[in-house]
Amino acid sequence: MKNLTKTLLIAMTISLAFACKQNDQTEGNEEHMNHTEEMDHENHDTMDHGSNSGSMASVSFEDKQVSEAVNAYLGLKDALVETNGEKAKEAANELLSILGNSSIEGKSEMEVEVKKIAETTDTDAQRVSFDVVSNQMIQLVKSSVLTEGKLYKQYCPMAKNNEGAFWLSVSNEIRNPYFGDKMLKCGSVEEEI
């Protein structure tokens, strides 16, 4: 039984290493796969994570309501990067208020999931709804005209039990909202929007 456990642990470690191994960066390549040591679950308190905040900068769109919604979403993303359920709940309430006062097309679907985030401080539950909100937000920004700043569509192959999940960021540095400090830098930049 011990040998089976060791074998499974080694297999999982190898899988994680391949999923989040570091790529050499070349000019024009903004994909950021990250160090396998960032994924050391047992010793994550000793890892150097750098700054968790990625959304100090904001973005602007032709439609002011879209700008407000996207910037509130970025605050929600940052709270989940920090694995701070209370802060995520506050950010979700802010986004919910902005959506409620907007005429953004398709907002009702997004409001349902944002409300779920606002009703709990459990970051695991919040992250499930955040995935849905992220996909809807990506559709929104792609159908809008960005006038200031940059957005990056980022991807973690291990989120959602290895199904993978996307999110938006104003930084091309990976700060994973699906795992927070457990695998902060796991992911890649899929697209600049």
**Residue 22 pLDDT more than 70?**
no
Lowest mean pLDDT among 7-16, 72-81, 146-155: 7-16
Strands of 42-182 (E only): list them: 60-61, 146-148, 152-156, 165-169
The confidence band for 106, taking pLDDT boundaries of 50, 70 and 90, is: confident
**Residue 1 pLDDT more than 70?**
no
Helix (H) or strand (E) holding 188: strand 188-192
pLDDT of residue 3: 52
Place of tokens 């986004």: 95
Q: What is the mean pLDDT of residues 161-188?
A: 96
Sign of the CA dihedral with 8 first, then 24, 192, and 118 last: positive
The confidence band for 15, taking pLDDT boundaries of 50, 70 and 90, is: very low
Q: Which two tokens stand for residue 133?
A: 């909100």
